[in-house]
Structure formats: C-alpha cells, structure tokens
Amino acid sequence: MGNVDTDDYAPDWLEFEKEIGFRFQVRGSVDKILRDDAAFGELIVSNYKFPPRDDSVHTQDRSLPSGIKIRIYQPPHTQTELLPTGIFIHGGGFILGCLDSEDAQCRLICRRANVILISVDYRLAPEHRAPSALDDCVEAYRWIFANADHLCGDLERAFICGFSAGGNLAIACAMKINESTPTARPVGLISIVPITCHPSAIPARLAPHYKSYVENSECPMNTRSGMMAFFDAYGVDPRDPYISVLLNSQLAQLPRTYIVGCGKDSLRDDARLFAAALKKANVEHCFKEYPGQPHYFWAFPSKVMAVSSEKFNDDLVRGIRWVLSANNPLGSNI
C-alpha cells in the first residue's frame, strides 16, 4: 500500500486495506469524486459478496407532492399497534447517494428496531444547491404526519435519522420542524458521523478542540479536500445555522439524540463538539466514538470488518430504541 500512515488505526481496518490493496480517499473536484466513487463501488461489488436483500421487510416507492421520491420500509410481521415512524437521510456529501445506496441499512434498521422508515431521495448538488436537500427532508418529515393513518405510524414516536451529510440534514430538519411546527417535534434524533460545522465558522473558543480537519485530513474515505469540494458544490454559507448546526441557537430544543463519531475521520471533532454542545444545553444524548475507524467503516462486507460492522449496527439499533423510549434517561443500555 505504499507509505500510508497506520498509526492508531483499528487493526481490522488495516487488514481490510491490505485486502483491497490501497487506501481509498475522497478528494479533488466533484467530477473526480464522482468518478472515483463509482470505480471504488465497482471494485467492492466485484470482490465481495454482499448479504442477500432482506425481502422480509416490506417496501413501497412513492413520490411526495413535489415529486421527490421516497421509499417506505415496514417491518415483516403484522402489527397490532402503531409503530415509531421516522425519515432516513442518506449520506454522500450532498452530491452522492440515492434510495438504493443505503437500502440495506434501512432494511436493517426497520426490521431490527421494529420501526417504519421513510428514506428520502433528496435533490443533490451541484445541480441543486443549499437549501434544496434540507427542504426535501422537511417535506418528507411533514408527509409522515399527513399520512400517519396510511402508514400505521405512531406520531408520538416520530424520529429523524441521518448519516454523514444526512446527519447534518437530520439535525437541521429537527431544528426547522421545531421552529415552524413545534407540535410535530420529533421525539428522537439519530445523527451518525455528521457534519456539524463548516471549518471556517468555528469560533475561536472552540478552535483548540477542532483539530480533525488537520489531524485526519488524509484519512481513508473522507478527507479535508473532499469536504471542501462537498461544501463548495452545495453552495453553503459557512455561517448558515442550518449548515453549521453546532452554532444554531436552537440546540436546547433538540430531542433526545444518539450521535456517533469515528476516531480516524475528518469529521471526528464535528461529532465530539456537537455532543459537548448538547451536554451544555442539557439535551439528553448518547455519544459513541469508534476509535481507529474511518468514516463509514461499517459499510463494507469484508469478513475482517464483520465484527466491527455488527457492533456498529447493534449499537445503532440500541441507540434508536433509546431515543424512542421514555425509560433509561442516561442511555446506559447502549
């Protein structure tokens, strides 16, 4: 693999890199990122066997009134009670992803957490710039409330879940709903390896604790170069409080939150600082960090990553159950 840094990486991740023979990094222009991502995806598909699709989960593809596509996931067993219902917002730096890109993740969440999930095929940059993606997610969340009877959804246990850029959109969506429709406030928020602040917007008081864009600038998967391309493509204002959600004045109004970070991720300190801000704002939360692992480490079907991936998903399901439960306020079961 050449002279790549191996310090402080989880051993299973280094074994996975040996298997594929190189360190994949998202970097450069949007066009380069799109090409590299497609080539990396083809390599993974051609060299690894993915688990079969879980068809026990019932799915239905529909469109919102605006035309945005959604996919509804419902658990396999006939229910006699209303189920928690939430939206799922995929990752991809605002420029990548679709309903299929995290379909397996949605099926896992739906079945193992026993929830109804609505995945949002939000508009992507650079064709659609900020706040297009957020607007689509807010529309999808409101759609749940307009269609609860059809979904057999429990509106008293509505939640929002997002990964990476989707983690940012999940937080921002919760804030938008709190601001515009407080009666529809979600009871739970799940934000996995999220973007929580543009680096140029970090206040001086937090700068000593915001080092991962430097310390982890060349880590696997996500890099500082890639993040800058994502921000530029999405056309963000760094000080927009719905982009730099860490600085939003509504933090104290957020619901119970499960947040995840990775130790070898340029977004490591986005998660750490957001968890610290939730603590300061007295928001119930549980923060988990996976030392030595990079962005999206759980997504690869290599046998060497199986234990870590399963632990991530076990923790995720427990985290979802916790944010939806009125019990165990300290989240000690996660």
The residues annotated as belonging to the active site are 164, 265, 295
Tokens of 177: 């709903």
Residue whose structure tokens are 């990396």? 40
- Paired strand residues for 154: 84
- Say how far apart CA 125 and CA 134 lie, in whole Å: 12
What does the CA dihedral 41, 133, 274, 320 come to, rounded to 10 degrees?
-70
Q: Give residue 21's region: left, alpha or beta (phi > 0; psi -120 to 50).
A: left
Q: Rounded CA gap, 160 and 169, in Å?
A: 9
SS3 56: coil
Residue with tokens 């993740």: 105
Distance (Å, rounded) from C-alpha 96 to C-alpha 36?
Answer: 12
285 to each of 8, 110, 144, 230, 273, how far by Cα in Å?
A: 27, 22, 24, 28, 13
Length of the chain counted residue by residue: 334
Cite the beta strand spans of the chain per DSSP E.
Answer: 58-63, 69-74, 83-89, 116-120, 153-163, 188-192, 256-264, 285-294
Q: CA-based angle 98:296:112, to the nearest 5?
A: 75
Amino acid code (one letter) for 324 = L
